[in-house]
A and B are shown apart, each in its own frame.
Chain A
Amino acid sequence: MSAIRVENLTKRYGETVALDDVSFEIEEGEFVVVLGISGSGKSTLLRCINGLAAPTEGAVYVQDEPVTSHRNDVSMVFQQHNVIEGMSAYSNALTGALSRADYLESVLRFNDREDKIKALEALETVGLLDEAEQRAGRMSGGQQQRVGIARALVQESDILLADEPVASLDPGSAQTVMGYLRSAAEQRGLTAMISLHQVNLARQFGQRFIGLADGKLVFDGYGDELTLDVIDELYGGIDMEEFLSTGDDKREATQ
């Protein structure tokens, strides 16, 4: 049974073709990075997988069931964090458990003790246990992003989607956040699908790569199959010399 199956997925917004006949299948436990330039359809793909957007044609299956609306076994980390600024990091993490509590319980924070522990565990996973009671709106962008990840982890989904989770972070924090995502996915046996702009990070953390260009699937491969030629095709005309040198510096620095 595949975790995610995308079949001939096409998504149009008026005249714009955001996704054009995309098909692929992802096995359970894979850590997939989606690559592509701005406007290539990365966000649209992730939004179709978790039911925030409906396919124009084709279909998406999660655990062999067609995706028709939001489901609590698919969690999402957003580029703009989308944490609730007026609430503490802990309360934010706890919103991941909303589907397991009824309305009054959740509003009064009378969640099960188990879920409260899970929220704190998730904050520990992302290195924010000491900041648990801090108001999310006052945290730095990187910290807010980690709160968003904690929320997704508390949801205890089987599938974790992340749309450019590190796009607004400095290189150091980007590394840290990607590290948290990767280790959380490994520890919890999640299937993860993460869109990225930074090719260096993609190569450092990704297991499998899906490349989009103009809404079309142009690459699908594992590890070393993501060659410089492929990257050149995806991003078109970037300075390879420059890229290689900075890319390798990074890799050495982190190892």
Chain B
Amino acid sequence: MSTDADTAIEQRLEEIRLTRRVRWIMYGLLSVLFVVALYGSIRLMDFSFSYLYQQWPYFTDQIVNYVPDLEFLIEENLPLEAGITLAMGFVGTVFGIPFALALGVLGSGRVTPFPFNFIFRSIMAVSRAIPALVWFFIFIPLSGLGAITSTIAIFVSTIGNLGRLFTDELEEIKEGPIEAMETTGASKSQTVSFGMLSQVKTSFIAWTLYIFEVNVRQAVTLGLLGGGGIGVVIEVQQGMRAYDNMMAGILVVFVLIVAVEMVSQRIRSYLRDDEEADGLIALIVGFPQRMAESAVK
């Protein structure tokens, strides 16, 4: 008896050892491939450290011109331009949400049966496959070179990017609550809302905030192509070699992006800490009451 068990254990150990060895060989091969690819890439673009070394003194000479000109910042009202950039990212995201939600949910194999969910996935794939920059160029004939076209480009790429995140998130959900909703005699749409969407509610909000961050950065980039907002200022000043003005614009971008990320990340960590969304609402709704209470004290 015990020798039987012993040999079984020996055999299992041998199997485990073998699979681990195979895995190590795979890791080794992958590392070699990685190094080759890196080396090839560097060679391909004639990357040369010695050239950078030669140019370094010239670069440091120029750097004095890079001090941001704060007067320009105020005169040209750059914060307002940054506000336009923020608005492009915001409106593009908000318009994208309902489409991303609809396509993301319908693209999930758990809502739409297998071959048909690919219809919705393909729509999202098209939206994603074309970068926002290219969408921008495509829509210039529609709404001109400006903020509106940028917003449309952001809107279109949000559908695919956010929708895809929603679909992926839905693959992770637990079967149990879905079955539980089915046994209550709920309709299909009720089962989807309560059994599925309520499981991913907080992560959907978190992903939306993340895409919003990405979109604001994207709005800056589109501005560099003439798409409105602070990006245009940077592009124009760079064209005029007015580096101090350009740096003033970059400073404003820096503040904008950091502020957006800070707010978004605060909200996201708040959500992760398991505060129910109701908690957030309660916080806002309860605010006047708390103010009143503290006034009475």
**A interface, CB within 8 angstroms of B:** 50, 52, 70-76, 78, 80-88, 95-99, 103, 106-107, 135, 137-138, 148, 151, 155
Contacts and interface: CB of A to CB of B under 8 A. Distances in A.
Contacts of B184: 72, 75, 95-99, 151, 155
A155 B185 contact: yes
B176 A74 contact: no
B interface: dominant SS: helix
Nearest to B193: A107
Interface residues of B, number: 25
A34 B46 CA distance: 75
A106 B194 contact: yes
29 contacts: A50-B183, A52-B179, A70-B183, A71-B185, A73-B185, A74-B183, A78-B176, A82-B174, A82-B180, A84-B194, A84-B199, A85-B199, A86-B199, A86-B201, A86-B276, A87-B198, A95-B180, A95-B184, A96-B184, A98-B185, A98-B187, A99-B185, A103-B190, A103-B193, A106-B186, A135-B278, A138-B274, A155-B184, A155-B185
B177 interface: yes
B202 A95 contact: no
B166 to A, nearest CB: 16
Q: Which of B182, B274, B276, B277 has the most CB of A within 10 A?
A: B276
Nearest to A137: B274
Nearest to B189: A103
Nearest to B187: A103
Nearest to A98: B186
Given A106-B194, A137-B274, A86 B202 contact: yes
Nearest to A107: B193
B195 interface: yes
B250 interface: no
A85 B276 CA distance: 10
Contact of A52 (B183, B189, B195, B199): B183
Nearest to B200: A86
Interface string B270-282: 0000101110000
Q: Which of A98, A138, A155 has the most CB of B within 10 A?
A: A98
Interface in B47-77: none
B183 A84 contact: no
Interface string B147-191: 000000000000000000000000000101101111111110110
B195 to A, nearest CB: 7
A72 B185 contact: yes
Given A86-B201, A98-B186, A151-B180, 9 more contacts: A52-B179, A52-B182, A72-B184, A81-B176, A86-B276, A88-B278, A98-B194, A106-B194, A107-B193
Contacts of A86: 198-199, 201-202, 276-277
Q: Which of B176, B189, B193 has the most CB of A within 10 A?
A: B176
Interface string B23-54: 00000000000000000000000000000000
B178 to A, nearest CB: 9
A144 B195 CA distance: 16
Nearest to A80: B176
A78 B180 contact: yes
A189 B211 CA distance: 53
Contacts of B201: 86
A33 to B, nearest CB: 20
A148 B177 CA distance: 10
A86 B203 CA distance: 11
Contact of A70 (B182, B193, B198): B182
Closest 3 A/B residue pairs (Cβ): A72-B185, A99-B185, A82-B176
Contacts of B277: 86
Nearest to B282: A133
Contacts of A76: 180, 183
Contacts of B174: 82
